[in-house]
Amino acid sequence: MTTLTPVPGSTAAADPARSADRSQARRGLVARLVTQLCVIVGVLLSIFPFYWLVVMSTSTTAEIFGYPPKLTFGSSFLENVQGVFQSVDLLGSLLNTIIVSTACAVLVMFFDSLAAFAFAKFDFPGKKALFVLLIATMLVPGSLSLVPSFILMSSLGWVGTLKALIIPGAANAFGIFLLRQMASGSIPDELVDSARIDGAGFFTMYRRVAVPLLRGGLAFLGIFTFITAWNDYVWPLIILVDPERQTLQTALQNLNSVYLTDYGMVMAGALISVVPLIGVFIIGARHFIANIAAGAIKG
């Protein structure tokens, strides 16, 4: 019977290789554990303010300012919500806010995508100068335009109406810049040229070429615009002089009293105003993430 004799030094050479593999595996495991720990800590830090809002909305003012802070749910949520409905026209202001936010989101997605498609894939006189001017408007603080905007709305007779919130917010430079950058990279010039050769006009190319390829960006822009319009406080406070046409944020401001503020009731109103935003974000984010994943698979 033949006996196999190990090659001298082979075992010694294999041991360092195995040790290096085990050391690399341990380092990879530690890196993954540290990454997961950081993600968990970040998620907890992000969720805690919302959790604290829910806790305060279920507590009384005395419990909110108690020491040590109470971190468990209270039993005053229904009383706080009832106080909100008795103090302000919550349903009416909620309807106004839904109308304004939805209209602004739809108009911004439409007009910004039109302008972005034109800037990205078409040549016209003054294109570069107009785009530079558009970007320059992003550097101007929004507070500087409050007085000119109010004078303009007053001359149009729109003070106190929802049109004063919707029309000025129908387009913005940020959305045009965002979608223009996306259109430049995601819409092939060959596809536009093919559509033009087939006799498609601008709006046909926009509907059949640009919109399908910009769905991810449109979803993000729609969510961003809806949330921005929903949370807007300063401009509605200035322009909506009619108490019957207040938005949710300005209506909730009436819960603050000069002498005594029921903070449990205020937090309950804030919670009511936040819940619809969570639903919109969940619905919109699904389409946003789905389009990103589809683009990654195609790439």
204 contacts: CB under 8 Å, gap ≥ 6:
195
pLDDT tier, 9 (very low <50, low <70, confident <90, very high otherwise) = low
The domain locations on the chain are 88-254
- Asked if pLDDT for residue 58 goes beyond 90, the answer is no
d(CA 171, CA 23): 56
Q: What is the mean pLDDT of residues 167-189?
A: 88
pLDDT tier, 295 (very low <50, low <70, confident <90, very high otherwise) = very low
What is the reported pLDDT for 99? 92
- Asked if pLDDT for residue 3 goes beyond 60, the answer is no
Quote the mean pLDDT of the chain: 82
- What does the DSSP assignment read for 268-299? HHHHHHHHHHHHHHHHHHHHHHHHHHHHHHH-
Tracing tokens 């007779």 back to the chain, one arrives at: 157
The CATH homologous superfamily for domain 88-254 is MetI-like (1.10.3720.10)
Compute CA distances 173 → 14, 113, 177, whole Å: 62, 11, 6
Burial-class residue 113 by CB neighbours within 10 Å (0-12, 13-18, 19+). Answer: buried
CB 150 within 8 Å of CB 243: no
Q: What is the mean pLDDT of residues 71-100?
A: 86
Q: Could you report the per-residue pLDDT of 95-115, keeping only the tens digit for each?
A: 999 999 999 999 999 999 999
Angle at CA of residue 249, ends 56 and 42, nearest 5°: 50
250 contacts: CB under 8 Å, gap ≥ 6:
93, 233, 236, 237, 240
Residue 215, CB-side half-sphere exposure with 13 Å CA sphere: 17
- Asked if pLDDT for residue 261 goes beyond 80, the answer is no
What is the reported pLDDT for 264? 83
Top pLDDT among 6 and 155 is at: 155
pTM for the predicted model, two decimal places:
0.80
